Structure 1
Amino acid sequence: MANDSLVTARVIGDVFDPFCSSIDLMVLFNGMPIVSGMELRSPTVSERPRVEIGGDDYRVAYTLVMVDPDAPNPSNPTLREYLHWMVTDIPASTDDTYGREVMCYEAPNPTTGSTGWCLWCSGNWGGDLCLAPSRRHTT
């Protein structure tokens, strides 16, 4: 089962279905590793992060998605599931620079206060083709 903090924060259930982690993922903003629940200021996230993906089978590729589940802010989530970034075809044991960026990074910019965002990584099993969505938000 996923990290209990994700359940407590209602990420599991609201944003993602329950899942089991199968690879290591390291996210670095300005060279600084981050952990789930960490608070970051706007200057820290102005540039896209570096995301290192674990695994040892280079034949397996991954898709990386960063969304804001309550954009523009938690009290007014009119742009729910706002897509900040999407990279596909990232080989195992490499980082996001080896993939294909299908939606360029857009830094989080809440209208008031703070906001949370979720980074999701999934295997492209069987060579699934991931296409860029036509827009960043679901509404």
Structure 2
Amino acid sequence: MAASVDPLVVGRVIGDVVDMFVPTVNMSVYFGSKHVTNGCDIKPSMAINPPKITVSGQPGELYTLVMTDPDAPSPSEPSMREWVHWIVADIPAGTSPVRGKEILAYVGPRPPVGIHRYILVLFQQKGPMGLVEQPSSRAHFNTRFFSAQLDLGLPVSTVYFNSQKEPANRRR
């Protein structure tokens, strides 16, 4: 499975957002008909609505999904790292689209400048979440700290895409 981690190292997802891990669950992410693969480009206009996500796994297993932008507001000066775009907990294995408890409502990519990475990180839960506090701010979120707070451990799957501001005349 090491081959599936390599793009995460090259894209600095491992390091900037998560620590090295071994993927143990398959997560498929789609914006419309576009399948998200590590490092692919997704236009902000394609990602206005939350993606459709399928999580493999065994019946009874629950997962938490976090989507962040470690490049906010600019890849050269990520002073707001990480900007959290979405948090969903209690996602049952094998579901599509994601059916869980939305902790933080989805906000699509809005990169003001440069090419931003948008990272979807999946954690396996030890049991149902119960009450989870919303982050006080979307800026300065820390996926590692969030995982530690909720005792989630290392990710079980991660995928990321790139996005950049679209010219006004090219938006759909």
TM-score, length-scaled by structure 1: 0.90
- Say what the alpha-carbon RMSD is for the aligned residues: 1.6
Residues of 2 paired with 1:122 and 1:62: CA distance? 5
Equivalent residue, structure 2, for 1:127: 128
- Once the two structures are superposed, the pairs formed by residues 14-93 of structure 1 within 5 Å of their partners are 14-57=16-59, 59-93=60-94
Residues of 2 paired with 1:101 and 1:95: CA distance? 15
TM-score, length-scaled by structure 2: 0.74
Residues of 1 paired with 2:101 and 2:52: CA distance? 14
CA contact (8 A) 1:87 1:96 kept: no
**TM-fit CA distance, 1:90:** 0.3
**TM-fit CA distance, 1:40:** 1.1
Task: Spell out structure 1 runs of 4+ moving beyond 6 A.
Answer: none
Q: Bigger relative contact order, structure 1 or 2, given CA contacts below 8 A and separation 6+?
A: 2
Unaligned runs of 5+ in 2: 142-172
Equivalent residue, structure 2, for 1:94: 95
Instruction: Please give the per-residue CA displacement for 1:23-55, whole angstroms capped at 9, x wherever unaligned.
Output: 100000013211010011111111111111111
**TM-fit CA distance, 1:113:** 2.7
> What amino acid does structure 2 have at the position aligned with 1:31?
S
Equivalent residue, structure 1, for 2:7: 5
**TM-fit CA distance, 1:13:** 1.6
Moved more, 80-89 or 28-37: 28-37
User: Which secondary structure does the structure 2 equivalent of 1:125 belong to?
Assistant: coil
Unaligned runs of 5+ in 1: none
**TM-fit CA distance, 1:96:** 4.8
> What amino acid does structure 2 have at the position aligned with 1:66?
M
> What amino acid does structure 1 have at the position aligned with 2:139?
H
Percent identity between matched residues is: 36
